[in-house]
Amino acid sequence: MRLIQAGNTNAFDELYSRYKSPLYSYLSRLLNSSIAEELLQEIFLKLINRKDSFRFDSSVKTWLWTIARNTLIDHWRGLDHRMKNSFESLQEIKGEESIESPLDNVETALLKKISREQLIACISELPEAQQEIVLLHIHAELSNQEIADQVKMGLGAVKTVLFRSKEKLIDCFKRGGHL
């Protein structure tokens, strides 16, 4: 980040290469591909414009995901949609390939066998705050502490939300006969 702040374009190119795919994946699960691409460019433009505001009190990854999350929220607000309505775009994702999840417990091994459509349907049943935290955990692969910093919650609260979300997802799969 110090190199980027000094104007080193190679450092920016490396950062862009490292985070372009995970950010695009996160955005494209919530928005159509053209809007996701547009927001991705906006995120990196904001990074360039705000590079001097990075204070090294968090990781570059956390800072970049904060920019991404805020850009996404700004986009939803600009469309005058509530976050829940925006998550309905998840329903448009097609395919039966299984979703990989960084959640690391026995019950989550079952989630890996569930189709993406089933997972999306069950995530959309979660309350808005839980949806956001689960998506940040799954798609952004942020640590619990990084999520806590982003959503301005305590670490214990994030752990509780993830635990309860996991339980609700498993219940959803069981109710729907997905297991």
Cβ-contact 68, 23 below 8 angstroms: yes
> What is the overall mean pLDDT for the chain?
76
pLDDT tens string 33-65 = 888 899 999 999 999 999 999 988 888 998 998
Cβ-contact 19, 61 below 8 angstroms: yes
Distance, CA of 122 to CA of 106 (rounded, Å): 19
According to the model, what pLDDT value does residue 118 have?
73
pLDDT tens string 95-104 = 333 344 344 4
Distance, CA of 52 to CA of 31 (rounded, Å): 30
Distance, CA of 46 to CA of 84 (rounded, Å): 25
| CATH 1.10.10.10 segments of the chain | 95-179
Distance, CA of 96 to CA of 37 (rounded, Å): 24
Distance, CA of 84 to CA of 86 (rounded, Å): 5
Side-chain-facing half-sphere of 110: CA atoms under 13 Å: 13
Q: Residue 15 — very low, low, confident or very high, per pLDDT cuts 50/70/90?
A: very high
Predicted TM-score of the model (pTM): 0.51
Is a pLDDT exceeding 80 seen at residue 177? no
| CATH 1.10.1740.10 segments of the chain | 1-81
The CATH number of 1-81, from 3.90.1720.10, 1.10.1740.10, 1.10.760.10, 2.60.40.1220, is 1.10.1740.10
Tokens 């990989």 belong to residue? 100
Q: What CATH number should be reported for the domain whose range is 95-179?
A: 1.10.10.10
